[in-house]
């Protein structure tokens, strides 16, 4: 199996060094240090690589699709950089080599397409928020209003992150103000606070509640319908592996891609 995850790129890493083959700095996620995707042929035998920068909430689905892609393209490795869409967009505009960008909001995609040529983004999925609580729900949270109780410890994504922007929209739609005890940089980190019992509740995507496999409980609320995030995907015009990038996007948009996304809880665009 040749699938492996790309480590997070350090924002200050000069483009020249990245293209020269220096690995990225460490990440909070498990990672394997590898050379950049621009080295499309490895010294070990010419194996091709395609690098995909994708929102943290796509970790499970894109990992599965990456394995599907590799199986259909023997000798090709799909390398992922999962994280906050806003951080990934900044990394790309700073010069980190990427072939495909899949964002959790049109706004973060626009940051990239405004800065560098790319194919027209295509919306491939939609996602909505749920309240995540520990399995035993010690704070007895039942709806969005319960998060305003100062005794309830709440985690939210930072506002500049798509899941944080969606939380602001949902709370505004409900006319509620919540004072979180922590603001996290991506939805996975926000959910982890609930899984570890460090907070009583968090606003995360429905897909992340499903992906937790029972570690947390999800509580739907009506205002989530007013804060749905569209997920766009695009290939970058300067992609080192342009043909493979287009083929990976085709997979995401295919019936197979839609099936994987739907099973994970994403909605069709």
Report the pLDDT value the prediction gives residue 140, as an integer from 0 to 100.
97
Which CATH number describes the domain made up of 4-126+230-263? 3.40.190.10
In this prediction, residues 121-130 reach a mean pLDDT of: 97
d(CA 58, CA 148): 29
**Better pLDDT: 103 or 15:** 103
**138-166 as b/e, with b when 16 or more CB fall inside 10 Å?**
ebebeebebbeeeebbbbbbbeebbbbbb
User: How many angstroms separate the Cα of 262 from the Cα of each of 120, 184, 215, 255?
Assistant: 23, 26, 21, 10
Mean pLDDT of 80-91: 95
Q: How many whole angstroms separate alpha carbon 102 and alpha carbon 121?
A: 9
Task: Check residue 241 and give its pLDDT.
Answer: 87
Angle at CA of residue 122, ends 56 and 207, nearest 5°: 35
Q: Where in the chain is the domain with CATH 3.40.190.10?
A: 4-126+230-263, 129-226
CATH architecture of 129-226: 3-Layer(aba) Sandwich (3.40)
Which of 15-19, 48-52, 134-138, 225-229 has the least mean pLDDT?
A: 15-19
**Averaged confidence pLDDT in the chain:** 85
Quick check: 8 pLDDT over 70? no
pLDDT digit string, tens, across residues 14-53: 333 333 333 333 333 333 333 333 333 333 334 499 999 9
E runs forming strands in the chain: 4-5, 48-55, 76-83, 100-102, 122-127, 129-134, 154-157, 182-184, 201-205, 216-219, 229-235
Token readout for 32 is 């394997």
pLDDT more than 90, % of the chain:
77
- Whole-angstrom distance, CA of residue 267 vs CA of residue 225: 12
CA distances from 121 to 57, 71, 117, 222 (A): 18, 26, 11, 29
């Amino acid at each position: 199996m040749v699938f492996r995850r790309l480590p997070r790129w350090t924002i200050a890493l000069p483009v020249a060094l990245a293209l020269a083959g220096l690995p990225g700095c460490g990440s909070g996620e498990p990672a394997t240090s590898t050379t950049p995707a621009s080295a499309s042929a490895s010294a070990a035998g010419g194996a091709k690589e395609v690098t995909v920068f994708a929102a943290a909430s796509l970790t499970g689905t894109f990992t599965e699709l990456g394995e599907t892609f590799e199986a259909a393209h023997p000798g090709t490795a799909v390398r992922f950089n999962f994280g906050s869409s806003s951080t990934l967009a900044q990394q790309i505009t700073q010069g980190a080599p990427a072939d495909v960008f899949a964002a959790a909001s049109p706004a973060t995609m626009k940051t990239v397409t405004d800065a560098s040529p790319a194919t027209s983004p295509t919306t491939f999925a939609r996602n909505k928020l749920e309240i995540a609580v520990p399995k035993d729900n010690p704070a007895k949270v039942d709806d969005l209003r319960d998060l305003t109780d100062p005794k309830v410890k709440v985690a939210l994504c930072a506002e500049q992150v798509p899941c944080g922007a969606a939380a602001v929209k949902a709370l505004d739609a409900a006319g509620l103000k919540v004072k979180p005890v922590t603001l996290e940089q991506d939805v996975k980190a926000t959910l982890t606070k609930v899984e570890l019992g460090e907070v009583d509740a968090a606003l995360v995507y429905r897909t992340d509640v499903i992906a937790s496999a029972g570690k947390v409980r999800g509580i739907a609320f009506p205002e989530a319908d007013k804060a749905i995030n569209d997920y766009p995907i695009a290939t970058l015009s300067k992609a080192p592996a342009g043909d493979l990038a287009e083929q990976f996007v085709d997979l995401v948009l295919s019936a197979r891609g839609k099936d994987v996304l739907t099973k994970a809880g994403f909605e069709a665009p």
